[in-house]
Every structure is written in structure tokens, then in C-alpha cells.
Amino acid sequence: MFNTPIKIGKYETRSRVFFAPLAGYTNYPFRLLCKGYGAGLCFTEMVSAKGLKFGSENTKELLYTTEKEGLTAVQIFGSDPEIMRAACESEDLAAFPIVDINMGCPVPKIYKNGEGSALLENPLLAEKIVSECVKSGKAITVKFRIGIDEEHLITEEFAKRMAGAGASLLTVHGRTKDKVYAGEVNTSEIAKAVQAVDIPVIANGGVFSRADGEKLLRDTGAAGVMVARAALFDPQIFTEFSGIKRESKRVMFEKQLQETRALFDERFTTVFMRKMAAFYVKGERGAAAYKERLFAAQSPEEILSIVAEIWE
């Protein structure tokens, strides 16, 4: 069911289970970890097209990848079609054959700037962005929500517009913008998108296990599913779909820390891996006390010594 490829333009994914772009988390080492457990396609953190235009170093840092990672998608956001196309054509994105356009981010500063989920209210501009980006020669995908709120559901029409503008794949988050990441996933709306277009549709929202993924596929008829927050607590969730054998949490953590340390400085590695360890210890006996110690840790070695007590 899950271990067959999906075609995105002329490219094929490893499986039908994707790992969502998560701001502040889906850096190269974390994507590499999840891909190793069976994620079929991973996405970079959300990257500003304007940031690329003006040469922001912070923006460019989000784009690190290597051939080791294999097929990977970059996610960009913006509201100016020409700037978005320029980003697709830039040397900064040369390593990414697939460009995903964010049209679902609910963060207020993004929305107020006319970007992310604000584009749900401006379908003509959204169409123009996609059609311009397609001219870059990249495979263009779009991730969007079902509407701003329950009174303004736009899934079917928006999906048709994005496909008509040349998108190769759509990911539909089955919640409205006002729900952020809470509440039930509206599977009937995702199903409308599936039925409305002849390109693959990925269902996003509420996948915390293989059973969740199977139900989402049954209820929507989607080509695949996207895992998001669940991977923050358990990157090995992808093994449930891939059949790859699970490793101990300690081995997993040490692998991630090593890759993170190889790419980033000690300070970033310490702060980032403290944060990841806090996710991973959820549900463990004495988790609150361990988290307190983790957030006080001042080096990767100190973090490792703490997790060694938890996961022997």
C-alpha cells in the first residue's frame, strides 16, 4: 500500500509516505534520519522567496543538502509571482528538482503579509504564482488548507485551479486556517480535491500511526499521506509504513546528534538536540525531571550523558 512510488512530474518518490516541512525542525540531519527510516519524500523548512532574492544568509542555511539525501523537495513561500519564479530559477535551489509552494501556513505574520494561507483568499494570484513557477522547469507542487474557516471551504475549486496552472502534485491539509493544528481532519474535503484533479493528491493531518495513515487513505482516496508533528516525537514512525526495522532510541538519537554536529556549530547542536531529546522522552518515566536537566545541558556531551540514563 505505502511502498510504491508516486510520480511528481518526471520524478518518482521512494514511497507514498511524505515527511512534512516543519519550520525550525526539518533541517538536513533530521530529514536524513527520517529518510533512513523510510520517508518517501522530505521537504526543507519553509524558505522565503524574498529572503533568497535579497541574499539572506539565514535563508540560505535552510537549503543545505547533499547527494546522500537523494530526491528532496524545497518549500518556498511568497506572494509575488516573479520573485517566486526567480527563486525557483536561482542557483540556491539548483539541488532541488521539486519546489513546493506553501499556501497553508496559518502564522499571523505570514498571513498578514499576503503569503501562506492568505493565498486561499486570492486564487487568481495563487494561480499566477504556480504558472510562473512552472516556467522554471521545476516540478511544482502546492500545499494548501481546505479554507480560511468552515464558512469558506475552497478545496475543490482551489485544487482545480492549482492543477490547471501546472502543479504536478497537491498536498491538502484537512483543516482550516483558523484551526491551526487542532481539531478533526475534514476528510471529505480532501476527497473532493482527489476527485477534482488528475494529479496525485497527498492527504495531510492527524497521522500518528500506520493505522491513521490507512484510514486517511480509505476516507479520502488520496495517493499518499504526509506525516508532520508525529515525527517530532518519533522519527521512526516511518518504519511502520516502510517495514524497516526499528532501532533503539539511543542509537537513533546518537545518529541524529552526530549528523547535526557535523553540519552545525556546538551552540546550535546543543540547543537543537536539547529540544529534540525533550520530544523523544515524552511518555518516559520521570520525563519532566529529565526535560528539566536536558534544557539545562550546556554541551552535546552533557545531553548524551542524560539520554544514556534514559535509554540504556
Structural domain spans, the chain? 7-242, 249-310
The Cα 284–Cα 278 span in angstroms is: 10
42-51 pLDDT, tens digit each:
999 999 999 9
261-274 pLDDT, tens digit each:
999 999 999 999 99
Residues 132-157, mean pLDDT to the nearest whole number: 96
pLDDT the model gives residue 286: 84
Please give the CATH topology (third level) of the domain spanning 7-242.
TIM Barrel (3.20.20)
> Residue 159 pLDDT > 90, yes or no?
yes
> Residue 56 pLDDT > 80, yes or no?
no
The Cα 93–Cα 119 span in angstroms is: 23
pLDDT the model gives residue 16: 97
Residue 33's pLDDT band, with cuts at 50, 70 and 90, is very high
The Cα 203–Cα 199 span in angstroms is: 13
Instruction: Provide the mean pLDDT of the chain.
Output: 95
The Cα 227–Cα 203 span in angstroms is: 9
Residue 195's pLDDT band, with cuts at 50, 70 and 90, is very high
Residues 234-257, mean pLDDT to the nearest whole number: 96
pLDDT the model gives residue 76: 97
Residue 133 annotated among the catalytic residues of the structure:
no
Residues 211-239, mean pLDDT to the nearest whole number: 97
Among candidate residues 34, 42, 88, 105, the one labeled active-site is 105
Q: pTM of this prediction? A: 0.95
> Which burial class, exposed, middle or buried, applies to 41 when counting CB atoms under 10 A from its CB (0-12, 13-18, 19+)?
buried
Contact 274, 303 (CB under 8 A): yes
Give the angle 72-76-78 at the CA atoms, nearest 5°.
170
